[in-house]
Structure 1
Amino acid sequence: MQGLHYLKGLKGFTLAEVLITLGVIGVVAAMTMPSLISNHKKSETSARLKKFVSSVNQALIFAEQENGMREDWEIGEMNSQESSYNFLAKYIKPYVKSYDIEKTNFQGKIGAKLTFLDGSQMFIKIGNCYDIYYDINGDKLPNTVGRDIFAFILCRKKDCRLSTNQVTGFWCSATEDRPRDKARQYELCKSNGNSCTMILEDNQWEIPDDYPIRL
């Protein structure tokens, strides 16, 4: 009975108190939600980039086992949809999970694209090296290089003074060494989204907190 008297003595929240509490919760949510969304985008982007780089470089290793060293592969005709298509069909598609290859152009570049099972896409254009653009969400917006599209390059070691025959951040060292200075990399990323993958590569494909482009 004593406990019952105690409960009767308790007062519930007034409507004003409830509204104030809900208001505080709303303000906190409004303050934290953008940060949560941004962190989610960064995590998702990093995960897709890591998967892409790993999958394509692994495909190149398998392709070398069946077709000889990539140093000896025929590059094909430059700026050709047909040559780009053939490269993807022979050296990439057999070793990754994907849909069809399509001859297409991207931002004025002539080439072909391959769509992965997760909806992301890989576009390749053959020049002195292979220009590669990876779109983490396919045809969805914003379709902006440095935000949801990321540029890579694939060069033969002898062409670009590289120590690897695999996909790297977008910079061909044929005439100039790759910038390692952080300030210079950020400057290049702001002026040309192609250069942003240098930042990401040096950060193990994680999106840094001070990444210069808003995702």
Structure 2
Amino acid sequence: MTYKANFKIVIGGFTLAEVLITLGIIGIVAAMTLPTVINNAQKKAPASRVHKFYNTMNNALLRSIADHDDVKYWMPEQKVFSYDQNLDFLKIYILPYIKYNHYEPCNGSGGYSRACCVYLPEGLMVFLVDVNGGDIGYYPNGKIKVTTRNYFAFQFNKKEGFDTNGKPIKRLNNKTTIEPYTFNWDGKYESLTSTTNSWGCNKLNKGKAGSFGYCTKLLQLNNWEITKDYPW
């Protein structure tokens, strides 16, 4: 008579085969969901930094106003600032009220020939003043690379005026505070992602003058979150 041994490994009430099947299922589910988790984390980080930058700058502005009077007196003339004038402005009104690592000329990087590059603990701020008021570019990763993921435009004390054709320039939400860039925006939500003007937050606008300028406003209107209609 021949006897055949029948061994069965049992782990916590489950056979080894059942455990392996369960682990395989968990692995498949993890492989399917992990990219989504990573993508959501990648979206949350820059959005959080942009919101923090917005709050930090406006809190600094309030402190500066307490020392230097209203913002409307800081730019009495509508003129294009040189690099030295931009730096002097920052040294008086902005830099004493924020934390930063260092500053330097942007040296034309990204088209900023007159701008000051201020390196922050989290990201890079590019600052300049022209005849329309102040322009601020914020780059969460600390490098001047204009993409919908890394470039967020703000405006500061923008003046009412006219374009080269004599038409009034629209400045919705024009405030003395630092606000998302809205140059010539018509106030319609769908226009923020349009390709009819170069500022629309749309990847098809890449390389155009002022491209992605409205991305910050799109972010703000969605409670500083990257939503499905954001061109990530």
Identify the TM-score tier after normalising by the shorter chain. 0.7 to 0.9
Aligned match for 2:87, one of 74, 85, 88: 85
C-alpha distance in 1, partners of 2:68/2:142? 30
Which structure's residues are more often helix, by fraction? 1
| Residues in 2 aligned to 1:100 and 1:29: alpha-carbon distance in whole angstroms | 43
1:202 aligns to what?
A: 221
Structure 2 segments unaligned to the other structure (5+ residues): 1-9, 162-170, 195-199, 206-210
The yes-or-no answer on 1:112 pairing with 2:116 is yes
For 1:1-215, list aligned pairs within 5 A: 12-14=15-17, 18=20, 20-74=21-75, 78=80, 80-104=82-106, 105-110=108-113, 111-118=115-122, 120-127=123-130, 128-139=132-143, 143-156=145-158, 160=171, 162-172=173-183, 176=184, 178-187=185-194, 188-190=200-202, 191=205, 192-211=211-230, 213-214=231-232
Q: How many residues align?
A: 197
| Counterpart Cα distance in 2 of 1:137 and 1:186 | 23
> How many angstroms does 1:46 deviate by?
2.2
1:161 Cα deviation (Å)? Answer: 6.4
- Report the AA paired with residue 228 of structure 2: D
- Contact between 2:86 and 2:116, CA under 8 Å: does it hold in 1? yes
Partner-residue secondary structure (3-state), 1:207: coil
Q: TM-score, normalised by structure 1?
A: 0.79
Aligned partners of 1:145 and 1:84: how far apart in 2?
25
1:2-31 Cα deviation digits (max 9, x unpaired): xxxxx79x67314x972x544433322221
The gaps in structure 1 that reach 5 residues or longer are 1-6
- RMSD over aligned CA atoms reads 2.7
| Deviation string, structure 1 residues 125-159 (Cα, Å, up to 9, x no partner) | 2212212110112139xx33321121111124656
Q: Percent identity?
A: 27
